[in-house]
């Protein structure tokens, strides 16, 4: 849609934000379902409730400005979510998964923070002080959500995810130890019986 004024840009930005919030609302349940850390899951669920209020506020602003019939798709938000979904499917370690989910959700938050900040500044320039206050309220909530995610990452999740390499090495070494043990048994007894193999698997 062509824009010939700041008013046009402001209207389009509200529509883009509305679509971005809707996409985020659809994505959060998938992320929350994959989460292991209870505090992280709680934070995601809390922000989903906030996002529902953000949608309500945006719709009110759009309606008040007489732009309710227009629609805009936020392709940048869609790209962020699609990238997160692709990576999510390839992570097998639960602790590593939590660290990734925080990063993915923060990427979404940072996108929204930038967009809300722009919309707030444009509303101020256009003399829409009530709009600016509403957008600032949402901007503050997005910032708080981002800070909470950082706290969870720094105090809990990142350290556990960093131990993923040790877990992987431990599993690998355990497998090597089992193989050595079985080799010794094979040399001593001539061959491994089915029972020996099964016991080895149980002990790993």
- Check whether 176 has a pLDDT greater than 50: no
Q: How far apart are CA 35 and CA 84, in angstroms?
A: 14
List, for residues 82-128, the tens digit of each pLDDT value. 999 999 999 999 999 999 999 999 999 999 999 999 999 999 999 99
111-147 burial by CB neighbour count: b if 16+ within 10 A, else e? bbbebbebbbebbeebebeebbebbbebbebbbebbe
Assigned domain for 103 exists: yes
Same domain, yes or no: 125 and 179? no
Q: Is residue 69 part of a domain?
A: yes
For residues 23 and 48, membership in a common domain is answered with yes
Place of tokens 């048994």: 185
Supply the pLDDT for residue 166: 58
CATH number (domain holding residue 61): 1.20.1260.10
Number of domains comprising the chain = 2
Q: Looking at residues 142-156, what average pLDDT do you find?
A: 96
Q: Which of 56, 52, 58, 57 is nearest to 28 (CA)?
A: 52
pLDDT digits (tens, 9 = 90+) for 3-57: 889 999 999 999 999 999 999 999 999 889 999 999 999 999 999 999 999 999 9
Q: Is residue 130 domain-resident?
A: yes
Measure the CA–CA gap between 126 and 13, rounded to whole angstroms.
14
Task: Tell the residue number behind the tokens 């929350």, with chain if given.
Answer: 32
To the nearest whole percent, how much of the chain has pLDDT over 70? Answer: 77
Is 70 a domain residue? yes
Residues 94, 15 share a domain = yes
Q: Are 57 and 51 within 8 A, CB to CB?
A: no
Whether 179 and 126 share a structural domain:
no
In-domain check, residue 102: yes
Q: Identify whether the C-beta of residue 135 lies closer than 8 Å to the C-beta of residue 120.
A: yes
pLDDT at position 68 is 62
User: Do 113 and 142 belong together in one domain?
Assistant: yes
Judgement on whether residues 60 and 153 belong to the same structural domain of the protein: yes
Q: If we measure between CA atoms, which residue out of 55, 54, 47 comes closest to residue 31? A: 47
Same domain membership, residue 185 and residue 107:
no
pTM of this structure: 0.78
Quick one: 103 and 196 in the same domain?
no
Please report the DSSP string for 19-66 in residue order.
HHHHHHHHHHHHHHHH---HHHHHHHHHHHHHHHHHHHHHHHHHHHTT
pLDDT at 182: 42
DSSP letter at 190?
A: S
On whether both 110 and 17 belong to a single domain, the answer is: yes
What is the maximal distance between C-alpha atoms in the chain?
A: 89
**Domain range for 99:** 6-162
Do both 13 and 82 map to the same domain? yes
Q: Are residues 101 and 142 in the same domain?
A: yes
Same domain, 35 and 77: yes
Asked whether residue 1 is assigned to any structural domain, the reply reads no
The pLDDT value given to residue 81: 96
pLDDT at residue 163 in the model: 87
**Cα dihedral 79, 59, 14, 151 sign:** negative
């Amino acid at each position: 849609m062509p824009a010939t004024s700041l008013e046009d840009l402001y209207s389009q930005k509200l529509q883009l934000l509305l679509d971005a919030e809707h996409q985020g609302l659809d994505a959060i349940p998938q992320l929350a379902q994959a989460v292991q850390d209870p505090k992280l899951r709680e934070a995601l669920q809390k922000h989903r409730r906030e996002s529902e209020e953000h949608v309500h506020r945006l719709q009110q602003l759009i309606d008040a400005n007489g732009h309710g019939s227009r629609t805009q798709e936020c392709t940048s938000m869609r790209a962020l979510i699609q990238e997160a979904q692709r990576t999510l499917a390839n992570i097998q370690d639960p602790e590593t998964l939590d660290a990734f989910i925080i990063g993915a959700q923060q990427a979404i938050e940072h996108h929204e923070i930038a967009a809300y900040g722009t919309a707030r500044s444009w509303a101020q320039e256009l003399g829409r002080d009530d709009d600016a206050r509403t957008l600032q309220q949402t901007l503050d909530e997005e910032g708080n959500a981002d800070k909470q995610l950082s706290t969870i990452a720094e105090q809990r999740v990142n350290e556990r995810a960093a131990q993923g390499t040790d877990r992987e090495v431990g599993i690998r070494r355990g497998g090597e130890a089992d193989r050595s043990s079985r080799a010794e048994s094979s040399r001593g007894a001539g061959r491994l019986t089915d029972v020996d193999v099964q016991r080895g698997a149980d002990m790993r």
